Structure 1
Amino acid sequence: MTTSPHAPSPAAPVASAPGGTAVASQPLRLSIAEDPHGPVDGAWWPRSRDLVTEVADLVDHFPVEVGRLDRLLFSRPDWDDPEGVATPRRVRAARGTVKTGSFPSDDTHLVVAKLASGRRVRLVVVPPGTSESEARGVMTAAGGPDNHRTARELLGLDTDQRDDLGHQAWDDDGAGATP
């Protein structure tokens, strides 16, 4: 007996977006560098923290000229984790099923999309509640030819100053971090 490479195994939870596919009323908010060479290849600004719906939308609307998504690794803190619901190991979309998994270290703020060609695309996940101007700035920077910043740096999460021992550095009046 042969099985399709995308057939779910009995042990792997499979989830589908509502109605079996993502319904995008608006274009996918995605930027991908033409010639990536930094720590990230672009950025994705999902509309919600619902992993299944957003991954299905990403799969269905990922630019065909870039490739077809086969697998997706995600950072757990970027997504809601409903109680009692197992994190899906596969998500069904109109274009097919994509395997999903999470990073061992959770604070990356990335999705890594493995394409059918074998190429990996590292995308900063811009939080859905981010203002349009901030999100567009992150997306432009992440997909830009001169980007050498990490996801955390692009999102402004590496801003606290620490001394060599890992303690918060304070200015002379104790009011905050030193620049």
Structure 2
Amino acid sequence: MTTSPPGPTSPSPEVARVALRIRVDANVHDGPLDGAWWPQSRDLQREAADLVDHFPAAVGRVERLLFSRPDWDAVSGSPSMRRIQAERGPVKVGSFPSDDTHVMMVKVLSGRRLRLLVVPSDTEAGLAARLMEQAADDHNTQSPSTLLGLSTPDQSESAHTAWVDDAGQPA
């Protein structure tokens, strides 16, 4: 299991960023999630670039990302970006046709697709650590909405197989 330690919940411009907060189950399984990611803000460009640049090398190099729009301030209600600029170069991104998945899909160069629960950046550290542990547990059967304690069901089942860009083209 790959993991990074939890850090502060919401950085301010003068506070240094903490290490990538991620837990990934290294085993391939059929559960609803393969792990969790706890970004430091709701800025998609900044956080996705951090994810790409610091993604665990043992899991793979990030090729593409597919995100849930409501999890990010930069894209809610506006046309989605198609690329993020990471230190290692540009990476294609797209968004789910259905927006309430609370998942970041990560496609690595090997072709493996990982479903990461996006833990809201303002989540208290203890709760975030528990959510990340549950999401990365290969025995977890709970959906992202259930883990996050949301009252409305998410559409993560459709995200399980959907992989299209914003133009609706298969990715």
TM-score (norm 2): 0.74
Q: How does 1:24-173 map to 2 (within 5 A)?
A: 25-37=17-29, 38-81=31-74, 86-158=79-151
Root-mean-square deviation (CA, aligned residues, Å) is 2.1
Do the aligned partners of residues 68 and 109 (structure 1) sit closer, same or farther apart at CA in structure 2, a change above 3 Å counting?
A: same
- The answer as to whether partners of 1:34 and 1:145 remain within 8 angstroms in 2 is no
Q: How far, CA to CA, are the matches of 1:103 and 1:33 in structure 2?
A: 23
SS in 2 for 1:71: strand
Q: Which runs of 4+ in 1 moved over 2 A?
A: 81-87
Do the aligned partners of residues 44 and 82 (structure 1) sit closer, same or farther apart at CA in structure 2, a change above 3 Å counting?
A: closer
In the TM superposition, what whole-angstrom CA distance separates every residue of 1:14-46 from its partner, at most 9, and x where no partner exists?
A: xxxxxxxxxx73110000012242110000000
Q: How far, CA to CA, are the matches of 2:46 and 2:128 in structure 1?
A: 20
Q: How far, CA to CA, are the matches of 1:152 and 1:84 in structure 2?
A: 21
Q: Which has the larger radius of gyration?
A: 1
- The answer as to whether partners of 2:50 and 2:86 remain within 8 angstroms in 1 is yes
Deviates more, 1:76-85 or 1:140-149: 76-85
In the TM superposition, what whole-angstrom CA distance separates every residue of 1:120-155 from its partner, at most 9, and x where no partner exists?
A: 010000000000111101000001121111111111
Do the aligned partners of residues 133 and 36 (structure 1) sit closer, same or farther apart at CA in structure 2, a change above 3 Å counting?
A: farther
Q: How far, CA to CA, are the matches of 1:83 and 1:159 in structure 2?
A: 19
1:25 is aligned with what amino acid? Answer: R
Identity %: 55
